Homo-oligomer: A and B are copies of this chain.
């Protein structure tokens, strides 16, 4: 499939988006760590940050193998990701936790959907970056405890979760629309399966359902 320059470009773009996304997640989690109410919480969030960062290296190596300039490609996604983060800056520790859990989950779901359209090697690489680092339970535990202690918190965080979902979909749509190769990958080609409008609708439904499940896991109404 890599003889097809459009496919190769789509893969490089996808890896660039995932790579910059991991770097960006590291940075945001570092900021969340500063808001941690206890040193133990701080270390837990810092460990989540590190878990994101270690995923960058295999992505970088693969991009270089494909003949791309990894950091230049990752850099090209900076604006869109930074825009998402600027629009969803957590006001406090709990908003940061919800964003880490819900945002990470959404991104993982989205990449998992796309992985279905990739060659086996790239798919395995993408899926390996999506493994839950086992820290989701921490966010769930802390958010549930926070809501138990202050019921008004639940209402605020439920709204926050909806806003995160909206912003994420907006930016993801913009990224795909701007990248011809990614659009082509999703649309499919002569010898590649792709997504028609109905399939995109079903994907959207799956993403929304999984988001709702995560909100419920946090004890929040969707």
Stretch from A6-14, A45-53, A83-91, A193-201 contacting the other chain: A45-53
Number of copies: 2
What 1/0 flags go to A9-41 for Cβ under 8 Å of B? Answer: 000000000001001001100100110001110
Stretch from A71-79, A105-113, A213-221 contacting the other chain: A71-79
Interface magnitude class on chain A: 20 to 34
| Nearest CB of chain B from residue A32's CB, rounded to whole Å | 11
User: Could you tell me the distance between the alpha carbons of A40 and B74 in the complex, rounded to whole angstroms?
Assistant: 10
Across the A-B interface, the 4 shortest Cβ-Cβ residue pairs: A30-B30, A50-B50, A39-B71, A40-B71
Q: Which residues of A are at the interface with B, using a C-beta cutoff of 8 A? A: 20, 23, 26-27, 30, 33-34, 38-40, 42-43, 46-47, 49-50, 53-54, 56, 60, 71, 74-75, 78
